[in-house]
Amino acid sequence: MKKWRKRFVKFLIFDLVIVLLLLSTGLIYQQVGAREDAKILVPPGKLYKVHGDNMHLYTGGEGDVTVVLASGWGTANPYVDYYPLYEKLAPNTKFAVYDRFGYGYSDRTDKKRDVDTVADELHELLEVSGQKPPYVLVGHSLGSLETLRFAQKYPDEVQGIVMIDGGSPEHYANDTSDTASVIGGFMNQFRIKTGLLRLSLQSDAVVEASNANRNELKLVPDNLKKLDTTALLHNYGNANTVDELREMSANAKVVVDNKKPFPFPLTILTADYFGASEPEWDKTQAEFTSWSEHSKHVTVKDTEHYIHQYHPDLVANEILELVKK
């Protein structure tokens, strides 16, 4: 009996040593990889001090109107994600792609991700970088909230708004999901910090699956695809992005509480999800038109949530319509 106990204790110690060794190896693997990510993620645009931290802005094109592109939640590298769209816009107008704190090439911040702070950060970024209104604001997905709040706070600077499958404030205000607890939870953070996420993304099949709703980035050059994966490893699950999810419902209610139909045009582009869209989403998308006195709703066929990765020509044409008004 004593021999059995001694063997059992030895097995436990051995297993514990193996587990600790694997954890240590994973932590080192993640830390070394994170340092390499930082070397690769050289800003393609410029960094500007906004509320004391560095915020990234990438601009191009020429014109009297600037199209400001706001990414959706979790879009790790907006510069890459919007590539198919701003390539279409550049010959016809000026554009500006910005990274919220915690995204792309911007710093992370200790400031709460409430919608007023985010909208004010964008306004300051546009000012310090020398951009001039009028702006046509483009919001994808959750980027709709900061876009609308910016328009509420600075209406004289806005010429129009285009939503790329952007959720309505009413939709987000009633959203009861707790995604923040999943993304910011122990198991997911353990996966990130021990290098398991990094290891999984060495597989082309896993990367392709993660880009499934972005048309597998078929319209993006290979070198930018690699940058996108690097940015995902660098930014996924950080405190700023998790806080955005926590604040989502409260932020939406702030926007709803200040609702007054805009006097400028609002175009709502809704994905058909290849015929698999949800009735409730379609309903709130149709009702989204109530946010402007001059609204337009278009359901885009044969597309997923990232419409601009499937039909950038269509999206660009809708934006340019508002640029020319």
pLDDT level of residue 4 (50, 70, 90 thresholds): low
3-class SS letters over 56-102: EEEEECCCCCEEEEECCCCCCCHHHHCHHHHHHHCCCCEEEEECCCC
CA distance 244 to 132: 27
CATH architecture of 46-324: 3-Layer(aba) Sandwich (3.40)
Nearest to 241 by CA among 100, 43, 56: 100
Question: How confident is the model over 242-288, as pLDDT tens digits?
Answer: 999 999 999 999 999 999 999 999 999 999 999 999 999 999 999 99
Per domain, the residue ranges of the chain are 46-324
CA–CA distance, 163 with 285 (Å, rounded to integer): 10
Give pLDDT, residue 22.
58
Chain-centroid distance, C-alpha 33: 22
237: closest CA among 178, 191, 177? 191
Burial class (CB in 10 A: 0-12, 13-18, 19+), 185: middle
**Over the stretch 167-183, which tens digit does the pLDDT of each residue have?**
999 999 998 888 888 88
Task: Note whether 77 and 232 are within 8 A (CB).
Answer: yes
Kindly tell me the number of DSSP H helices and DSSP E strands found in the chain. 14, 8
pLDDT band at 37 (very low <50, low <70, confident <90, very high): confident
For residues 163 and 141, the answer to whether their CB atoms sit within 8 Å is no
Give DSSP secondary structure letters for 30-54.
HHHHHHHHHHH---SSEEEEETTEE
- Residue 76, φ and ψ in degrees, nearest 5: -60, -30
pLDDT surpassing 60 at residue 19: no
The pLDDT of residue 18: 58
Strands 94-98, 158-164: pairing is unpaired
